Amino acid sequence: MIEFECAPQDVARVRFAFSPLWELVHTLRVLDDPARFALHLPWVHRVRPRLRGLDIGLLRALVPAGGYIPDFLTPPPTTPLPDFAAELETVRATPPEVVAREIGWTRWGPVAPERRALVAEPGRTLERVADQLERYWAAALEPHWQAVRDLLEGDVLRRTRALAERGAEGVFAGLHPTVRWEAGTLRIDRWWDFRGPLGGRGLLLVPSVFVWPRASVMVPPYQPMIGYPAQGIATLWETRPAAPPDALAALVGRTRARLLAALGTPASTTELARRLGVTAGAVSQHLGVLRACGLVTGHRLGHRVLYTRTRAGDALAEPQE
C-alpha cells in the first residue's frame, strides 16, 4: 500500500500534465502482450509492420510485463505540455549511478548476467536506451501523437474543472479503482509499501492512454506522481465510416441545431432532454447523427456519459450562439 499524506499546501499544488515519453514507454507492454490491452489492438496492428528490423531489444528488456520500470525512463513532466525531444534530453542527462541503481532494482526483464553487464557500464547503457527510445518514438507513436494528445488534453480540462468545483475529493474519486482519498491521505493499492508526507511538493496527475487499465505511481525522491487511464480511450482508435451524403443536411433540422448549440458545455442526455423539452430517447437519436458527422463526442464520467462538441461542432454552432 502506498500512502501519501497531503497537507493543505500539497492539495493546493495538485496539478496535471501528460508525457509523450511516459506514453511511449508503456506502449512496450502493449506490444509484448496485446491480449491484455485489447483496446489498443488497432494500434498494434498498425505499428507492427513499422517495427520490422527496428532494434528495441534493450527497451523491451527494461520494461517488464508487470512490476517496476526503471524510473529514469519516465521522468515526471516538468511542464503541462512537454515535448518528446526535451524529455529525451532529460533521460540522457540521468546520472550513471542512478541508471545502475534502478536497473538493479528490476525484478523482471534482463537475466542476471545481462543485467550485470548493463549495470557495469551505465553510461553506455544509457546511450543505447536513449537511441532506441528516439527511433521507437518515430516509428510507433509520433504518427499517432496528435490524436493521443487531443484525448489527453480533454481529460486534463475535465479533471481541472472537477478540481475547481469539488476539490481534491472530486478529482480522486473517479481517478482509478485503486486510488482512494480518505481524510487528507491518498491511498493507492500496490504490492509494495510507501508512506510519507508530500512535504509541500504537491502531486502530479498524469493522464495516460497506454497505462490502461492500470495506474502507475512514482514516489520520492522523484516528484510524487500518479499516472491514470484517461477517459475516452475506447474511442481513440475508432475509424469512422464516411458520413452519408445527407448526414450534414440532417443537422439543419431545428431540434438537432438546438441540441448542437446547447452543447457549448458538457451535458448528459437527461439534462439535454430537460433543457430542450424533448424525450431522452429523441435526444439519443439526434446525438447519434451528430456523432456520425464528427460534431459531438461522449465522455464517460462514472455512470454517466457527458456529451460535448468537437472543434468542428464548435465552428458550426458559433453562428447560433
- Of all residues in the chain, the percent with pLDDT exceeding 90 is 24
Q: What is the pLDDT of residue 142?
A: 95
Q: What is the largest CA-CA distance in the chain?
A: 71
Establish whether the linkage from the previous residue to 221 is cis, with ω within 30° of 0. yes
What pLDDT, on the 0 to 100 scale, is given for residue 320? 39
179 and 36 within one domain: yes
Single out the residue in 234, 252, 276 at which a domain terminates: 234
pLDDT in tens, 176-230: 888 888 878 888 888 888 888 888 888 888 899 998 888 888 887 778 888 899 8
168 and 250 co-located in one domain: no
Query: Are residues 150 and 275 both part of a single domain?
Result: no
* pTM of the predicted structure, to 2 decimals: 0.70
| 186 and 50 within one domain | yes
Contact at 8 Å (CB) between 159 and 171?
yes
More confident residue, 90 or 225: 90
Domain that holds residue 224: 2-234
**Position with higher pLDDT, 192 vs 288:** 288
Mean pLDDT within 278-303: 84
CATH number of the domain to which 269 belongs: 1.10.10.10
Block residue for cell numbers 515519453: 21
Could you say which DSSP state residue 190 is in?
Answer: -
d(CA 233, CA 209): 6
pLDDT of res. 245: 42
- Domain check: are 255 and 221 in the same one? no
Mean pLDDT, the chain, rounded, equals 82
What is the reported pLDDT for 244?
Answer: 40
Q: 169, 199, 234 — which closes off a domain?
A: 234
Sign of CA dihedral 183, 184, 190, 192: negative
Q: Are residues 71 and 182 in the same domain?
A: yes
Task: Check whether residue 215 and residue 103 sit in a common domain.
Answer: yes
Question: Domain total for the chain?
Answer: 2
**318 pLDDT higher than 70:** no
Same domain, 167 and 130: yes
Choose the final residue of a domain: 234, 258, 288.
234
The pLDDT tens digits of the residues spanning 33-84 come to: 888 888 899 999 999 999 999 999 999 889 887 778 898 998 888 777 778 9
